[in-house]
């Protein structure tokens, strides 16, 4: 009798353990669990809300992070003296994409509030004299690599936005900006052959991000020298990549996804069939209809570094939309992108300047990706 009881106990324990093991190996995501997340919309009300961020910051000189190398006491000047066009929004690249934001919104919404004020701000900052002074800054002994390549990329995105805007104001601003645009193109062409290895980080120096925006500009204006160089270097850097460690992302201060930025670049430069083969090796999990990815969680939006994770949510979204475009097998990625935008979008206006000086541009670009789709 005692042995029978022991046998029954053993069988009960065994059955319990097997049940727990089954639970452990059950997939955490099922088809029913994959949320169909509605795409957020950049409508007029949202455009007016987001426009307040660059309107507020492009003429806000302080606080300011100049990011310069001091060669002598003569280099110690006020931000507006050093950068008469792009002195606001805390740093040079944020000032540049703050101007891009206003151009993008005006282009899409002629009825935007404060339209005349915005136009005057743009004309005041992007004047011929101011842009020439910006050009001169890059010729300083210690400034040749200034804002490489993140600020360069946003400058070309601004130039591209102006080029595709059919308005007299756009032609005047594009003409005024052209000397700086030409200089940045020259800098890309000079620098890219020297770069032996790509920079695979989640912040400003990320090579894939810098190449993507420059490629967009080159294709839009028909600059075959720049576009062909970017195609060559992108293939040199990334064509043999496989199994990108997406589980390592995001890092604590990321505002770009190294894996997704690379994939979005390769989507731009490879023929579609070749890209799908490459993507299947690089991020094989993306084709799974059950693929889910949690947005970057922001613990403190008053911390200038921790708030970067709102940026990673927007940049992940625009990259996922680029990857999924015209690829039905990857259409489910748009729901993941939408969830990322929806997490961060409500929090970026009326919050701290640590995020407010730059996140509006990221939100607008992510929302534009939905419109382009």
Mean pLDDT of 282-294: 97
pLDDT value of position 331: 97
Of residues 9 and 323, the one with the higher pLDDT is: 323
Task: Note the pLDDT tens digit of each residue in 137-179.
Answer: 999 999 999 999 999 999 999 999 999 999 999 999 999 999 9
Contact 323, 279 (CB under 8 A): yes
pLDDT value of position 33: 46
Q: Specify the residue for token string 């204006």.
A: 221
pLDDT value of position 19: 38
Residue 28 has pLDDT above 70, yes or no: no
Mean pLDDT of 191-198: 98
> Helical H runs in the chain?
2-25, 44-57, 79-82, 92-108, 115-125, 128-138, 150-163, 168-191, 207-221, 224-238, 258-269, 272-282, 308-324, 333-344, 353-356, 359-372
Contact 272, 327 (CB under 8 A): yes
Around 280, how many Cα atoms within 13 Å sit in the side-chain half-sphere?
8
Q: How far apart are CA 255 and CA 261, in angstroms?
A: 11
Task: Note the pLDDT tens digit of each residue in 88-111.
Answer: 999 999 999 999 999 999 999 999
Contact 348, 310 (CB under 8 A): yes
Buried b (16+ CB within 10 A) or exposed e, 95-107: bbbbbbbbbbbbb
Q: Please name which of 362, 234, 353, 266 lies closest in space to residue 304, comparing C-alpha atoms.
A: 353
pLDDT band with cut points at 50, 70 and 90 for residue 197: very high
Mean pLDDT of 21-37: 42
pLDDT value of position 3: 45
């Amino acid at each position: 009798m005692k042995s029978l009881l022991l046998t029954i106990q053993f069988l009960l324990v065994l059955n319990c353990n097997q049940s727990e093991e089954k639970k452990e190996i059950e997939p955490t995501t099922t088809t029913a669990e994959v949320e169909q997340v509605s795409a957020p919309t950049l409508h007029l009300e949202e455009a007016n809300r987001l426009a307040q961020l660059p309107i507020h910051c492009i003429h806000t000189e302080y606080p300011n992070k100049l990011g310069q190398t001091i060669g002598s006491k003569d280099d110690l000047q006020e931000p507006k003296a050093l950068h008469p066009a792009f002195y606001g929004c805390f740093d040079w690249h944020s000032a540049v994409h703050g101007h891009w934001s206003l151009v993008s919104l005006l282009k899409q919404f002629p009825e935007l509030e404060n339209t005349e004020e915005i136009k005057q701000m743009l004309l005041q900052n992007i004047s011929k004299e101011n842009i020439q002074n910006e050009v001169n800054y890059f010729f300083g002994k210690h400034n040749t690599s200034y804002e490489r390549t993140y600020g360069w990329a946003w400058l070309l995105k601004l130039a591209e936005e102006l080029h595709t805007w059919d308005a007299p104001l756009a032609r005047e601003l594009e003409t005024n900006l052209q000397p700086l645009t030409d200089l940045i193109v020259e800098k890309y062409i000079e620098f890219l052959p020297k770069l032996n290895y790509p920079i695979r980080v989640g912040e400003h120096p990320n090579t894939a991000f810098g190449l993507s925006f420059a490629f967009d500009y080159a294709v839009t204006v028909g600059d075959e020298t720049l576009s062909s160089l970017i195609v060559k270097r992108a293939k040199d850097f990334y064509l043999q990549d496989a199994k990108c460690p997406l589980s390592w992302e995001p890092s604590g201060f990321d505002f770009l996804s190294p894996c997704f930025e690379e994939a979005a670049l390769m989507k731009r430069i490879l023929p579609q069939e070749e890209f799908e083969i490459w993507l299947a090796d690089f991020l094989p999990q993306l084709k799974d209809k059950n693929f889910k990815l949690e947005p970057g969680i922001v613990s403190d939006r008053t911390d200038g570094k921790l708030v970067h994770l709102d940026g990673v949510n927007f940049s992940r979204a625009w990259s996922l939309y680029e990857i999924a475009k015209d690829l039905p097998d990857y259409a489910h990625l748009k729901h993941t992108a939408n969830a990322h935008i929806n997490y961060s979008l409500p929090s970026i206006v009326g919050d701290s300047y640590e995020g407010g000086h730059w996140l509006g541009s990221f939100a607008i670009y992510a929302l534009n990706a939905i419109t382009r789709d």
